[in-house]
């Protein structure tokens, strides 16, 4: 005669005391344990997991799927990419029904332990629910938002995201879903972030002033801009490198070479006026070739 099943409440109490390997081992005890403990192994959801036949979240509502809430409560890392992108990149050829941004916002509102979030989808205009949910993630440390605008104009003032940016360690901004609101410039001046890795468009070079602890800077491809834009980039980088900084590397995209160019940042022994205290070495070169900030900007604009 089989032993009576443990009440679900007791199993859940046990699960809270187990580490991840122990939970995996417990899944093999019996079918009941597997069903009850399965949500505890979902600490990460990758972009293809949503379409896997054994993905535990099937009905997308708390009332119709009892595992829904538990899965999201334990989630630490989440990737989301829209179906069109998944098919175009041949990541998956048979995706399930597309989840709308409002539903994604609902998911995010139930992920208090999320530390990593990556979203890639076409931007059809600001959905306040989605951005409110992103701004409300208390433990988030890495944010990757790549939202190309398919029509219309960007509708999210980037300054409204600054309180969230202040808690991040890594930030990637891609697409043209946001704009700068000059009326909110006082916020820009006062903000100080903990970001160590930053990926931005050249047009957002002014954000560097908020990143005193920056270690790695990656600048995305850009449309060749005006002389004033070049001056802004040059002055910002020079200001960054002529004072104590934790910056270790700079990368930018070369359209002529169809690849990224990387520079390592080192202390300079030269202390003459107008010479940065930091020098940059082309990491792809077999021999050390030192660049001043101005020379890097020249290379950038010739690329």
Which of 4-18, 24-38, 109-123, 288-302 is least confident? 288-302
Residue predicted with more confidence, 96 or 289: 96
What does the angle CA 5 – CA 9 – CA 12 come to, to the nearest 5 degrees?
100
Sequence-distant (≥ 6) Cβ neighbours of residue 294 within 8 angstroms: 234, 238
pLDDT exceeds 50 at position 274 = no
Nearest CA to 79 out of 56, 53, 48, 106 is that of 48
HSE, CB side, 13 Å, CA atoms: give it for residue 271. 2
Nearest CA to 136 out of 163, 118, 101 is that of 163
What confidence tier does 277 reach under pLDDT thresholds 50, 70, 90?
very low
Q: Where are the beta strands (DSSP E) in 10-114?
A: 44-45, 77-81
Domain ranges of the chain: 1-41, 43-195
Mean pLDDT of the chain: 76
**Which of 111-120, 219-228, 272-281 has maximum average pLDDT?**
111-120
**Which of 21-35, 44-58, 179-193, 202-216 has maximum average pLDDT?**
202-216
Instruction: Let me know: does 263 contact 280? Beta carbons within 8 Å.
Output: yes
pLDDT at 301: 62
Sequence-distant (≥ 6) Cβ neighbours of residue 5 within 8 angstroms: 30, 32
Q: Give the mean pLDDT of 284-292.
A: 56
Length of the chain: 303
Which of 10-14, 38-42, 161-165 is least confident? 38-42
Q: Give the mean pLDDT of 137-141.
A: 97
Alpha helices in 161-257 (DSSP H): 162-165, 185-190, 227-241
pLDDT exceeds 70 at position 291 = no
Sequence-distant (≥ 6) Cβ neighbours of residue 93 within 8 angstroms: 87
Q: Looking at the domain that runs over 43-195, which CATH code has it been given?
A: 3.80.10
Instruction: Let me know: does 27 contact 14? Beta carbons within 8 Å.
Output: no
What does the angle CA 165 – CA 166 – CA 170 come to, to the nearest 5 degrees?
55
pLDDT at 1: 46
Q: Give the mean pLDDT of 162-172.
A: 95
């Amino acid at each position: 005669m089989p032993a009576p099943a443990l009440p679900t409440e007791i199993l859940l109490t046990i699960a809270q005391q187990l580490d991840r390997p122990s939970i995996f081992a417990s899944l093999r005890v019996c079918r009941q344990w597997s069903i009850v403990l399965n949500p505890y192994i979902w600490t990460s959801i990758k972009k293809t997991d949503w379409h896997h036949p054994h993905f535990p979240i099937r009905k997308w509502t708390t009332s119709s799927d009892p595992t829904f809430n538990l899965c999201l409560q334990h989630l630490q890392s989440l990737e989301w990419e829209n179906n069109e992108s998944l098919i175009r990149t041949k990541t998956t050829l048979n995706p399930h029904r597309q989840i709308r941004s409002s539903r994604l916002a609902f998911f995010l509102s139930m992920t208090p332990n999320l530390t990593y979030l990556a979203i890639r989808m076409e931007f059809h205009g600001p959905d306040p629910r989605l951005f409110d949910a992103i701004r409300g993630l208390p433990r988030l440390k890495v944010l990757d938002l790549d939202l190309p605008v398919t029509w219309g104009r960007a509708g999210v003032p980037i300054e409204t995201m600054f309180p969230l940016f202040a808690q991040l360690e890594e930030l990637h901004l891609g697409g043209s879903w946001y704009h700068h609101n000059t009326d909110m410039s006082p916020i820009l001046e006062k903000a100080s972030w903990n970001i160590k890795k930053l990926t931005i468009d050249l047009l957002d070079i002014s954000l560097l002033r908020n990143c005193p602890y920056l270690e790695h800077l990656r600048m995305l491809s850009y449309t060749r801009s005006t002389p004033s834009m070049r001056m802004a980039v040059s002055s910002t980088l020079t200001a960054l490198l002529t004072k104590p900084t934790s910056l270790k590397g700079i990368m930018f995209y070369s359209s002529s070479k169809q690849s990224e160019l990387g520079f390592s940042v080192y202390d300079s022994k030269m202390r003459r006026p107008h010479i940065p205290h930091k020098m940059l070495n082309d990491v792809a070169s077999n021999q050390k070739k030192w660049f001043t900030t101005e020379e890097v900007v020249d290379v950038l604009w010739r690329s």
